[in-house]
Amino acid sequence: MAEVDKTDEQWRAELNDEEFRVLRENGTEPAWSGELLNNKATGMYKCRGCGAELFPSDTKFDSGSGWPSFYKAAERSAVTLINDRSFGMIRTEVRCATCDSHLGHLFDDGWNTPTGNRYCINSVCLTFEESDEDSGNDSEGKAAGE
Ligand SMILES: [Zn+2]
């Protein structure tokens, strides 16, 4: 069972209509509509429903599909994969493991990526938290690794 378990009423209070339709009713946003589609900043993509960390920005790639695409989840356990046979297709649905919200689908056509996977994720299912760190050099004060 998901760690975050809310009623539809609670979800409706927290999400706008479009977010509710996609996250809680397995909807899909129109291609090319997502505000995070062309985001190239460094940081972490999190679940709009619960804030769980889902995809690091360095796994995002330009798939040309019209939806934000990632080749790897932050943690394998961050997402749940479910067989989806709706619409007469066999697809793999991707859900947030923490709050069980629909995120998108997983395909194996992520050509030219290290994993060959393409997590095709609705932008409305994500929030983006930009990282403060400039890429590269560790800043002073960061504790030495153990
Ligand atoms: Zn979530």
What digits encode the pLDDT tens for the residues 46-67?
999 999 999 999 999 999 999 9
10 Å CB burial of residue 67 (0-12, 13-18, 19+) is buried
Inform me whether the pLDDT recorded for 139 exceeds 70: no
What does CATH list as the number for 8-130?
2.170.150.20
pLDDT in tens, 66-97: 999 999 999 999 999 999 998 899 999 999 99
Give ion ligand 1 contacts, CB < 5 A. Answer: 47, 49-50, 52, 96, 98-99, 101
Lowest mean pLDDT among 2-6, 15-19, 81-85: 2-6
The domain spans of the chain are 8-130
Please give the distance, rounded to the nearest whole angstrom, from the Cα atom of residue 98 to the centre of ligand 1: 5
CA 44 to mean position of chain CA atoms: 10
Inform me whether the pLDDT recorded for 18 exceeds 80: yes
Q: Which residues are catalytic?
A: 120
Distances (CA, A) of 42 to 20, 77, 100: 27, 22, 26
Please report the pLDDT score of residue 10 as a whole number.
97
Q: How far apart (Å, rounded) are the C-alpha atoms in residues 125 and 52?
A: 11
Tokens 């509509």 belong to 33
